[in-house]
Structure 1
Amino acid sequence: MTMTALDAGVLLAAYLLGSLSGSLLLGRLRGVDIRRHGSGNAGGTNALRTLGWRFALGVVAIDLGKGALAAGLGLRLAPGWAYPAAALAVVGHVWPLWHGFRGGKGAAAAVGALLVLWPLAVPPLLLVWLAVLVASGYVGLATVLAALGLPLLAWWQQTDGMRMGFAVVMALFLLFTHRGNLQRLRRGTESRFERARLWHRWRSRA
């Protein structure tokens, strides 16, 4: 696949869009650098734990939006490069140019891209994420297992090579960005979102 100057420009724009971190942009409005609070991660989960649900909702909206925008830009201007553009938006979220290359873990940006490029993949992945979260209370574990379900879904649906490649790359990339969560899980030190453990609370009352 030959790359034109327009294609290269779209890929660069996708990375730069990904570099716009929702938590860090909104944090500046409040005079807060979220990377100095909680887990130190510039993502929605840490935003929820440290600054509340309203702030976290804004963070997630921005991070979903930039993934969707990057994917949409790719589809419109460089259709053959839409999936690489989406992947670069996720990379930009993790290593943002505008924020010293210290960002989040990329899940929300990836979901935003999927909403544009492969919307039917989002409901089953969200179902896996919610099921694991409700059962365990571990957001990181829920995200990893949902991400690992992406290539399985692509295989089951017999998708084309570009979509399959994106699914595999995203699954491995999110596994990499959540490696700290998995290490803490093995050590038994991972933070648990107790309010989300609805299954445990239901069993305790039964």
Structure 2
Amino acid sequence: MIELGLKFTAAYLLGSVLGALVMGRFRGGVDIRTFGSRNPGATNALRAQGFPFAAGVMFIDVAKGILPVALLPALDIPGVGIDPLVSRDLRRYSVAAAAILGHVYPLWHGFRGGKGGATAIGVLFVVAPSIALPAVVLWLAVIAITHYVGLATVSVAVAAPVYFGFTALPEEFGLFIFSAWVAAIITYTHRENLQRILAGTEHRANLLRLRR
């Protein structure tokens, strides 16, 4: 379990590096948590600083989901090794969960993080690559139809365990449980967006050209 704990911690710490604040350092110390919705995610970055800045934020936050899940589970840590009692799936999904939790509750930034959507997509590219691109297409389609980015993100998150429930069980039970957990945390982090949608006060979007 020492191996699992070290890998979980490493993934969490990497997830705690917020793309918005990294990009902000290249923009003279800009902190987008002081703009707009105050959320350090790509959508608020686009509203506050424009497309190149937001693209950098998205790249970093997606990469935080890809890299730890692709590299850490199989990593043979010197002096620790690979624990034979820990399954491959437990390693993979624990590391994936840690990366998302790091983004949402980052140690480096007072536990004030983003909403986890971009990092979750990065994770999806590793744990279920065959549906990652369809998930992005669904996300864009929901934005095109409803003009709500938050609703699109929640829709994709909720659709994933439904899809895996029909296609992955019982062989990939771990994937189903993990996707259900992701759906729960993404819905939770977007709860205020959903409330504003119901109230008719949520920001509306036209794909990448956002407007109020």
Report if TM-score (shorter chain) is over 0.5.
Answer: yes
1:50-89 mapped onto 2 (5 Å cutoff):
50-77=48-75, 79=88, 80-89=90-99
- Given the alignment of the two structures, is residue 44 of structure 1 paired with residue 42 of structure 2, yes or no? yes
Distance in 1 between residues matched to 2:41 and 2:208, nearest whole Å: 18
Q: Which runs of 4+ in 1 moved over 4 A?
A: none
Q: How many corresponding residue pairs?
A: 194
Given candidates 28, 40, 44, the residue that maps to 2:25 is 28
Distance in 1 between residues matched to 2:23 and 2:154, nearest whole Å: 26
| 1:127 shift after superposition | 2.2
The aligned residue for residue 185 of structure 1 is 197
SS of 1:14's equivalent?
Answer: helix
Distance in 2 between residues matched to 1:111 and 1:41, nearest whole Å: 18
Distance in 2 between residues matched to 1:194 and 1:130, nearest whole Å: 10
Identity of aligned residues (%): 47
Distance in 1 between residues matched to 2:130 and 2:108, nearest whole Å: 32
Aligned CA distance change for structure 1 residues 118 and 195 (closer, same or farther; 3 Å) = closer
Distance in 1 between residues matched to 2:156 and 2:50, nearest whole Å: 24
Q: TM-score, normalised by structure 1?
A: 0.90
| 1:74 shift after superposition | 3.4
Structure 1, gaps ≥5 residues long: 198-206
The aligned amino acid for 2:100 is V
SS of 2:73's equivalent?
Answer: helix
Task: Give the root-mean-square deviation of aligned CA atoms.
Answer: 1.5
The aligned residue for residue 102 of structure 1 is 112
Structure 2, gaps ≥5 residues long: 76-81, 83-87
1:119-130 mapped onto 2 (5 Å cutoff):
119-130=129-140
Q: Deviations over 1:94-135 (max 9, x none)?
A: 110111111110011111111111111212222221111001
Q: Is the contact made by 1:111 and 1:122 (CA closer than 8 Å) also made in structure 2? A: yes
SS of 1:105's equivalent?
Answer: coil
Q: Deviations over 1:14-67 (max 9, x none)?
A: 100100100011112221111000110000000111100000110011001111
The aligned residue for residue 134 of structure 1 is 144
Distance in 2 between residues matched to 1:142 and 1:93, nearest whole Å: 19
Q: Which structure dedicates a bigger proportion of its chain to helix?
A: 1
| 1:75 shift after superposition | 2.9
